[in-house]
Amino acid sequence: MLQFGPLLGTWFETLTIDKVTDIKKGFLTSKENPFLYEFDIQYGKTDYFGSAITTSDPTYILNTNLKKSWQINEIDLSFGLGYRHLKDDWGGKQTALGNYTYDRVSEYFYLSTGLTRFNSSKPNFAINYRHLIRGKQTSYLQTIPGYSNATNSQKTGFGLKAEYYLKNNLSIFIDYWSIEKSDNDQQGQGIYEPSNYTAQIGFRYQLLLE
């Protein structure tokens, strides 16, 4: 969510995921310590809370991650590089305060480190920390009178994720991101992305490819 001119503030977003399709593919360098490439596609509804409020906005997310893992007894440790692409299908409306809404795309490049605990060779729960390398916000403002599309860089932020496995390939998760205020837009309109917090909760079904 962008704010214009001198306005300051913090945004909190909640995203309820209806369905996640997750695909993992292992590239074994050794049986014990494989490289793993994974991606998931998510769809859900987002609620925004800030100087304007909107609810049930369609949101699409693509996550990809390349990581190296090391298994120590029942604990799997991993380190990797990831990319997150989020599309808010949010435009074409006005809030109760008369603010225009607009479509936007969030892109995060990050380093990740995580821990997964196994029980009888099956995953039990997992936690993951992600450190933002660089973020990019593209806001499609050309539908708002007096503005053109804006691009903002984000340099500081982190993500946390916790996941509990109900079955070997079915889990419930919560995913949290905290991103600091961006630089002003590259187009020179004085537009910036304020600090914002995003929380997701949902179910994940995994398709394992051999």
Where are the chain's structural domains?
A: 3-209
Q: What is the pLDDT of residues 22-50, one digit of tens each?
A: 444 555 445 566 788 888 888 887 777 66
CATH number for the region 3-209 comes to: 2.40.128
Q: pTM for the whole thing?
A: 0.80
**pLDDT reading at 155 higher than 80:** yes
Closest CA relative to residue 63, chosen from 103, 17, 28, 104: 17
pLDDT at 210: 53
30 HSE (CA, 13 A, CB side): 6
Pairing between β-strand 196-209 and β-strand 170-179 as defined by DSSP bridges: antiparallel
pLDDT at 4: 34
* Section 92-107 average pLDDT: 80
pLDDT at 105: 93
* Section 185-198 average pLDDT: 86
